[in-house]
Amino acid sequence: MIDGKKVLLSGMQSTGIITLGNYLGALKNWVDLNDDEGIECFYAVMDLHSITVRQNPAELRKNGRTLYALYMAAGLDPVKNCLFFQSHVPAHPQLAWILNCFTYMGEMNRMTQFKDKAAKHADNVNTGLFTYPVLMAADILLYQADMVPVGKDQLQHLEITRDIANRFNGIYGDVFTIPEAYMGKSGAKIMSLQDPSKKMSKSDENPNGSILLLDDKDTIMRKFKKAVTDSDGLIAYNDDKPGIKNLIDIYCAVTGKTVDGAVKEFDGMGYGKLKEAVGEAVADELAPVQAKFNELINDKAYVDGIMKENAAKASYYANKTLRKVMKKVGFIELPR
């Protein structure tokens, strides 16, 4: 709790430009909370997590700035929310170290994302990748978060966060708030345009599978034109037609229309027309975000100011928890 408000924390890694899936499934829902007076929201650019796979320094820097500007361009208010870089708050890796000592090898070994990523990056299975969930636990617990909006793929990490927090509290008393998954208004799950059985992902090898938030209109239209559908030519919303279902989900998420309404609207249309309509709707939705982004990315002084203020705010809350933890564990406070 902060000033009687519940605390919510989330974030994304700064590994490449986020997709329409990240936007519709997460960011847009965060923006809806701007005016919720009952919740204090923290959103971080999780750049420390990004280096669990090898990054080019110039690209990591660029991706970090891009994601930060996209948070704001999408509508996250940097005064009502705390928007910060994980690497600007040293308490994150500090707490992560301590929590490492309260986490078991067996627990980390069970993490399905670790197994997937280790298989994908077999040449670089580093211990940071292994303890990734512990850093994530630190991200959450430092702010005494009550709520964490996460996708299904992160639920296992949230569960381990709760286990670690409960274990720590069991030994030292009530230090951490036990966080819960926050399921907002059904965050749309957007699938790859090329393989609708897979989540849309920025690391997809096939660039046509994902709409990136900074794709221009021509690119958006071209990718939708190539989207996988099926062969019967009928527009209906069900699991036997995953490609069509995904297009309708995207259309509804950006227009705010209902599935029934959309299905009626497209009834009798060919797939070409459907794809064009969805492409247009997406381009219309992203145009103002991109315009705002271009403004922000060219206003370094303004963004840097926001960055500084927000890092100070995040540090204030994070350090409060960290000091408490260090005292409980038995470290000596530096005499003032």
Site residues for ligand TRP per CB under 6 A: 9-13, 46, 49, 136, 139-140, 148, 150, 154
Nearer to ligand TRP among residue 49 and residue 65 (C-beta): 49
Nearer to ligand TRP among residue 132 and residue 224 (C-beta): 132
324 classed as catalytic: no
Half-sphere exposure of 265 (CA within 13 A, CB side): 14
Rounded to a whole number, what is the distance in angstroms from the first to the last CA of the chain? 28
Options 202, 223, 241, 275, the catalytic residue: 202
**Least Cβ distance, residue 72 to ligand TRP (angstroms):** 18
**Least Cβ distance, residue 301 to ligand TRP (angstroms):** 28
Please identify which residue in the block is written with the tokens 């274990």.
167
Sign for the CA dihedral angle at 126, 129, 132, 134 comes to negative
Closest CA to 196 of 253, 137, 133, 239: 239
**Least Cβ distance, residue 99 to ligand TRP (angstroms):** 13
Nearer to ligand TRP among residue 148 and residue 274 (C-beta): 148
Nearer to ligand TRP among residue 46 and residue 165 (C-beta): 46
**Least Cβ distance, residue 145 to ligand TRP (angstroms):** 8
Tokens of 197: 């059985």
Asked if 73 contacts 296 with a C-beta cutoff of 8 angstroms, the reply is: yes
3-state SS of the chain: helix, strand, coil percent to 5?
55, 10, 35
**Least Cβ distance, residue 140 to ligand TRP (angstroms):** 5
Nearer to ligand TRP among residue 156 and residue 219 (C-beta): 156
Asked if 165 contacts 192 with a C-beta cutoff of 8 angstroms, the reply is: no
Options 28, 117, 223, 241, the catalytic residue: 117
Options 5, 62, 189, 199, the catalytic residue: 199
What DSSP line would sit under 100-111, residue for residue? HTTS-HHHHHT-
Tokens of 265: 């609207």
Asked if 31 contacts 48 with a C-beta cutoff of 8 angstroms, the reply is: no
Nearer to ligand TRP among residue 14 and residue 229 (C-beta): 14
CA 129 to chain centre: 18
Q: Is the backbone of residue 144 left (phi > 0), alpha (psi -120 to 50) or beta?
A: left
Single-letter code of the amino acid located at 23? Y
**Least Cβ distance, residue 12 to ligand TRP (angstroms):** 6
117 classed as catalytic: yes
Q: Is the backbone of residue 152 left (phi > 0), alpha (psi -120 to 50) or beta?
A: alpha
Nearer to ligand TRP among residue 15 and residue 246 (C-beta): 15
202 classed as catalytic: yes
**Least Cβ distance, residue 10 to ligand TRP (angstroms):** 4
Exposed (0-12), middle (13-18) or buried (19+): which is 8, by Cβ within 10 Å?
buried
Which sequence positions are flagged as catalytic? 117, 199, 202
